[in-house]
Chains A and B, each alone.
Chain A
């Protein structure tokens, strides 16, 4: 064998720890600064640098959170908020996806739908709150409508853009290989639009939380927003901060959910192939 005449290559760099281990380490390293900040906050509160009346210290927030969980208050309000988002998102998904399909798949549909939606989109949807209150009252309907309206646009826009962005050469190939119109939509157009549409879904979830916060400050009698508004009456900054924390965690959780969805649905993308 000619290969043996040459000395076996020697590792130049020292062996690296396994990628799994480095991954965990970098994950931990990212937590250092937030933890440090919370610690500083606690010290500042204990030494009287920050008024605990204006900003509750971390330990008080933790205690308040525990109390709210044990008493069942937090789960109750959380469930109601989640329900509002779920219903609103379900409406947004069906509206956004149907409108996106209508506008994306036919010129006639585009003419009928797109201009109208673009005009509506130019309107900051939170400015519609007074109208919604007049139309729908101050009950659940207004809150759900706000969530649905805010989340519809990103879903519509990205699906429409995604459908129109599908490589026409792939569509041509599909046609040559015997796909009919429905086959083209199913095998070429929709999978091609999916990456964009999932980005839209992530945006939609973000807008949904935003709408929820605004919606729940309108005369709510339950929900995380109510919890926060109620705590304001009694100057309970610890409970207000628990509410904010819950909103943040919900947002993060929703984002993770879509990421998992992406990893499954877009497994064919090179970046994801490399991760696997």
Chain B
């Protein structure tokens, strides 16, 4: 196997001093170049902390982390600068002269089908348009590692479906390594080649998804994986809390 692009060894993270309970507990993780990994977990399982560590936003204090140079994040809320038009948000922080960065930004916007909104103010965008801008802002950097922090969570159901297939297409076109943090088991199965389940700061499941693309919810094997992951998250098929039912 080739050298992994992300490599975490015995990574722990605590928020309140060395004796506090760890949010991430001696985690090991390898992500290969071009691999699409989904990270599932309940609220408070440490998903966001792991993503922030991979983004370089949180310091590594215990354990080791090897990360690629070019990383980009799409956040749950778009986090666009409202005082810059869309294309300048996409071009934010790019090196190079104004003409080339603008051209690169416009190309990225074209890829997310938003070229016609390049001059718009971010506060006039719909939720889906704002998230697509966020996606363009990440893509324009040609990241080796693309981190998606529940990017579809605040979108309406139809927009979410379109965004999911857009992300799938863009991944096929550019092949960055992706870590998608999500609550949504089906979303993870539609997009990822591998699904990790995080609970109490540790991985409790690591599932390869061999379903061929483009994926449909009706594909064979899809439902079995879905049930397995739901069980790992402690929820049964009807959405009841598995632990509560056992008690």
Q: Are B123 and A177 in contact (CB under 8 A)?
A: no
A22 to B194, CA, bound (A): 62
A93 to B79, CA, bound (A): 31
Q: Mark B56-96, 1 if CB is under 8 A from A, else 0.
A: 11000000000000011101010101111000000011110
Q: Is B47 an interface residue (CB 8 A)?
A: no
Q: Is A161 an interface residue (CB 8 A)?
A: no
Q: Are A269 and B93 in contact (CB under 8 A)?
A: no
- How close is A190's CB to chain B, nearest CB, in angstroms? 10
A175 to B57, CA, bound (A): 9
Q: Are A191 and B81 in contact (CB under 8 A)?
A: yes
Determine which of A173, A179, A194, A266 lies in contact with B79 in the assembled complex, contact meaning CB atoms within 8 Å. A173
Q: Are B93 and A268 in contact (CB under 8 A)?
A: no
Determine which of A187, A194, A269, A273 lies in contact with B92 in the assembled complex, contact meaning CB atoms within 8 Å. A187
- How close is B13's CB to chain A, nearest CB, in angstroms? 17
Q: Mark B121-141, 1 if CB is under 8 A from A, else 0.
A: 111100000000000010001
- How close is A138's CB to chain B, nearest CB, in angstroms? 46
Q: Is B55 an interface residue (CB 8 A)?
A: yes
Q: Is A183 an interface residue (CB 8 A)?
A: yes
Q: Are B57 and A172 in contact (CB under 8 A)?
A: yes
Instruction: Give the size category of A's interface with B.
Output: 20 to 34
Looking across the interface, which residue of chain A has its beta carbon closest to that of B137?
A: A177
Q: Are A178 and B79 in contact (CB under 8 A)?
A: no
Looking across the interface, which residue of chain B has its beta carbon closest to that of A266?
A: B83
Instruction: Report chain B residues within 8 Å CB of A53.
Output: none
- How close is B164's CB to chain A, nearest CB, in angstroms? 22
Instruction: Report chain A residues within 8 Å CB of B71.
Output: 176
Q: Are B121 and A174 in contact (CB under 8 A)?
A: no
With A177-B93, A178-B94, A187-B81 known as contacts, the answer to whether A273 contacts B141 (CB < 8 A) is: no
Contacting B at CB under 8 A, from A127-144, are: none
Q: Are B92 and A177 in contact (CB under 8 A)?
A: yes
A192 to B81, CA, bound (A): 9
Looking across the interface, which residue of chain A has its beta carbon closest to that of B70?
A: A178
With A169-B75, A188-B81, A191-B83 known as contacts, the answer to whether A176 contacts B123 (CB < 8 A) is: no
- How close is B120's CB to chain A, nearest CB, in angstroms? 9
A173 to B55, CA, bound (A): 11
* Interface contacts beyond A174-B92, A177-B92, A178-B95: sample of 4 additional A-B pairs, CB < 8 Å, sorted by A: A176-B57, A178-B93, A267-B121, A273-B121
Closest 8 CB pairs of A and B: A178-B93, A173-B79, A177-B93, A191-B83, A268-B121, A268-B83, A179-B93, A270-B123
* 19 pairs, A vs B, C-beta closer than 8 Å: A169-B77, A169-B79, A173-B73, A176-B55, A176-B73, A177-B72, A177-B93, A177-B137, A178-B92, A178-B94, A178-B141, A179-B92, A183-B93, A187-B81, A191-B83, A268-B82, A268-B84, A268-B123, A269-B82
Residues on B lying within 8 angstroms of A by beta carbon are 55-57, 71-73, 75, 77, 79, 81-84, 92-95, 121-124, 137, 141
